[in-house]
Amino acid sequence: MKFRAFFLSFSTLILVLTTGCEKQNNVTVIPDLPIDSIPFENNNIKIDFAADLPSTYVRDMHFFDASNGIVISNAGEIYQTKNSGVSWVRRYAAPDSIPLHQLFFTDNNTGYAVGGTISCLGNGCIAAGGRILKTTDGGNSWQIVLNDPAKEFVSIAMNSKHELFVVSNGAKNEIFKSADNGNSWTHEASSPYQFYKMVFNGERGFITTLSNKWLISNDNGITWNVDSSFASNYSNDIEFNDGVGYCFSNLDVLQTTDNGESWISQGISGASGFGVVKPLSQKSCIVFGSGSYSGGDFGIFYGAIWQLVDGNSWTGTQFKNTSFYSASFYTATNGYVASTTKLLRITVK
C-alpha cells in the first residue's frame, strides 16, 4: 500500500469519522499508545535505522532480500539498492513527475509499477495522466507498457490463473485485465465508486473504494459485484497471507479467516490516519499507521506501529516526528519500512 496524495488532503477530516463496518469486536480497545523513539526495541520487535531514502515520499517498496530492493516515489521515480539502502541508483524518472502508487513483483525478475494523477473539483474527477511500467530484469530497467492520459492507475494484482488486473480512476473508474504478462490490456468493467486497493486471495478478488462499498469477485475477476454488507469508508489497505487477511479501514484494523466472508474488528479504533497491513503468518501481523495528533495548526500525526504477537492480542507504540508510508517484508520476521526520509529495518522476535 501505500498512501496516495489524495488521502493526505483529508487526514484531518478522517479523524471525525465513526466506524461503520458491520463486524464483531472481539478484542479490548488499545488504550493511548506509549510514545517512544527510534531506535526501538522491546520483547516483540526491534526497529533501527538502516539508511537514508532517495526520496522524501516513498509510495511503495519491494525488497527481495536484506540487500536488494526497489522503491517508487511520489515524483514518479524508481530507485534500486543492492546494499540495504546504503546507496541508491535511479532507474526511471517520469519526465512529467506523474506519481507512482503501487509496486508489484510476480517473481525476482518481473515487476510492475502503476501510477497517475487525478484532480477532483465539484462533482467530477479528471485524470491528468497515468501509466503502467514493467521490468523483466529485476528493476534494472523499466518500460512503459500502457500510457493513458485519461486514467490514474492506482493498484495492480494477480489472480490464481496468473492474469494481471489493474484499477484506474478518472472520468470513469475502470478495471483492466492482461493475459499476456502486462504487454496488452483489455477493459473488463466500470464502477461508479472511486478505487483504492485491489488484491486477490485464490480465485477471490477484492477492490476497496473511497465509498462505503467494496467490489468482490468469486471467479478470478471475470465478474465483479458490489458488496453492500461491508459498510466502511476509506479502506486503505488489504492483504492476505497464510489463510488470514487484514484490512485497515475506517480507523480500525479488521481480520478475516474465511476469505473475506466476515470481518472482525481488532479493536484499534483509536487509530488515526492511514494504515499499511502486513500479515506475516496466521498469528503475526504488523500495522504501520498514525497515532495521536501533536496539536496546533501545524501539528503532525505521530507514526504508530501495532503488532499482533500471539494470534489474539495486540501491542502498539507511537513515535514523534515519524510517519510511515510503505513497508516490505522479505521473510516472516525481517523487513523494511519507509519513514519520512529514513529506511527503517524491522526485526520481529
Domain range annotation of the chain: 5-348
Q: What's the confidence (pLDDT) of residue 271?
A: 53
Q: Is the pLDDT of residue 17 over 90?
A: no
User: What's the average model confidence in pLDDT over 157-186?
Assistant: 96
Confidence category of residue 227, pLDDT binned at 50, 70, 90: confident
Dihedral sign computed on CA atoms, order 199, 201, 202, 206:
negative
Q: What's the confidence (pLDDT) of residue 183?
A: 94
173-178, strands of its sheet edge to edge:
151-158, 164-170, 173-178, 186-191
Measured CA angle at 254 (ends 305, 162), to 5 deg:
95
Residue of 90, 93, 67 whose CA lies nearest to 79: 90
Q: Are 275 and 301 in contact (CB under 8 A)?
A: no
Share of the chain above pLDDT 90, in %: 62
Q: Which residue has the higher pLDDT, 92 or 118?
A: 92
Q: Which residue has the higher pLDDT, 131 or 28?
A: 131
Q: Are 216 and 199 in contact (CB under 8 A)?
A: no
Q: What's the confidence (pLDDT) of residue 29?
A: 44
Q: Are 85 and 335 in contact (CB under 8 A)?
A: no
Q: Are 215 and 191 in contact (CB under 8 A)?
A: yes
Confidence category of residue 232, pLDDT binned at 50, 70, 90: low
User: What's the average model confidence in pLDDT over 2-14?
Assistant: 31
Confidence category of residue 293, pLDDT binned at 50, 70, 90: confident
Q: Which residue has the higher pLDDT, 8 or 138?
A: 138
Q: What's the confidence (pLDDT) of residue 229?
A: 66
Q: Is the pLDDT of residue 80 over 90?
A: yes
Query: Is 0.75 surpassed by the pTM of this model?
Result: yes
User: What's the average model confidence in pLDDT over 56-82?
Assistant: 96
Q: What's the confidence (pLDDT) of residue 18?
A: 27
- Whose cell is 466472508? That residue is 261
Contacts of 281 (CB under 8 A, 6+ apart): 241, 242, 332
Q: What's the confidence (pLDDT) of residue 230?
A: 62
Single-letter residue type at 258? D
CATH architecture assigned to 5-348: 7 Propeller (2.130)
Share of the chain above pLDDT 70, in %: 84
Contacts of 170 (CB under 8 A, 6+ apart): 118, 125, 126, 127, 130, 150, 151, 152
Set of cell numbers at residue 109: 525478475
Rounded-to-integer distance, Cα 298 and Cα 308, Å: 32
Q: What's the confidence (pLDDT) of residue 127?
A: 65
User: What's the average model confidence in pLDDT over 281-288?
Assistant: 93
User: What's the average model confidence in pLDDT over 177-185?
Assistant: 96
Q: 10-14, 152-156, 228-232: which has the minimum mean pLDDT?
A: 10-14
